[in-house]
Amino acid sequence: MIKVNDVSLIYPDGTKALKDVNLHIKAGELVYITGHSGSGKTSLLKLIMGMEYPTRGNVTVLGESIKKNNAGKIKKVRKSIGPVFQEFKLIEGRTAFENVMIGMRIQGIKPKLMKQKAHEALEKVGLGHKKLSKVENLSWGETQRVAIARAVARKPSLILADEPTGNLDYDNAVNILGLLKTFLDKDTAIVITTHATHLINEETNATFIRVDNGNIKIERGDLYHEEFSL
């Protein structure tokens, strides 16, 4: 599903955000990316999302290469990705339902089906009763649930969540991580960055990727990779 081979990402100002990273993620995998602030977690997700291109090496997502001159294919790949990113803010002045609908626009599906999917997604995240609330009137935890509903409504094969627990208190953070996990199935991979390692230490079936100053180390899940490597 995701192949990152010998990838370095150097920003125009010379910052080496990722250094010779190798990583394979398969369908059905739950991956936590941890590491200090500034270590390169978001950069790694942005590469996978096609928001940055590798300076060296190759990134392939759902069979398509993430590189310049491949924008058309990257756009197609994005239809199968559900992003929960701080950059993709909810639109204020619009309801939770409208925000989830907007998230599905790129898919080109019929309005009636879109509405049905938006309703389902909001029910699934436990916000059926807040569908018609303007997003600026929701709590942080609820806002994050709308962002998740927007990401999952299109039934993506890949869910990418960048610090989905940021700004949330302990209970809400645990709930959000638990909610994200409910979307895992054999055809779907979920990649979550977080610096809140204390919230995920209990996980046994997940892959842990630790990013440290642009280098990655797969701390758990190595066995999984050996058994199922391509």
Identify which range of 37-45, 91-99, 125-133, 220-228 contacts Mg ion by CB under 5 A.
37-45
DSSP 199: G
CB of 201 vs ligand ADP, minimal distance in Å: 19
Residue closer to ligand ADP (CB basis): 74 or 114: 74
> What is the separation of C-alpha 169 from the centre of its chain, rounded to a whole number of angstroms?
20
Residue closer to ligand ADP (CB basis): 16 or 131: 16
Residue closer to Mg ion (CB basis): 119 or 195: 195
How far is residue 63's CA from residue 61's CA, in Å, rounded to a whole number? 5
Residue 39 interacts with which of Mg ion, ligand ADP, none, CB < 5 to 8 Å by class: ligand ADP
3-state helix, strand, coil in the chain (%, to 5): 35, 25, 35
CB of 88 vs ligand ADP, minimal distance in Å: 15
Total residues found in the chain within this entry: 230
CB of 45 vs ligand ADP, minimal distance in Å: 8
Residue 38 interacts with which of ligand ADP, Mg ion, none, CB < 5 to 8 Å by class: ligand ADP
Residues at the interface with ligand ADP (CB under 6 A): 11, 13, 15, 17, 35, 37-43
HSE on the CB side for 41, CA within 13 Å? 24
Residue closer to ligand ADP (CB basis): 94 or 195: 195
Residue closer to ligand ADP (CB basis): 85 or 183: 85
CB of 89 vs ligand ADP, minimal distance in Å: 17
Query: Are 148 and 180 a contacting pair, CB within 8 Å?
Result: yes
Closest CA to 17 of 50, 48, 42: 42
List the one residue from 42, 99, 165, 194 that touches Mg ion (CB under 5 A).
42
CB of 115 vs ligand ADP, minimal distance in Å: 35
**Distance set, CA 143 to CA 60, 62, 167, 168 (Å):** 31, 29, 11, 11
Residue 226 interacts with which of Mg ion, ligand ADP, none, CB < 5 to 8 Å by class: none
Contacts of 171 (CB under 8 A, 6+ apart): none
Contacts of 191 (CB under 8 A, 6+ apart): 2, 25, 31, 33, 45, 48, 158, 159, 160, 161
CB of 39 vs Mg ion, minimal distance in Å: 8
Binding footprint of Mg ion on the chain (CB under 5 A): 41-42
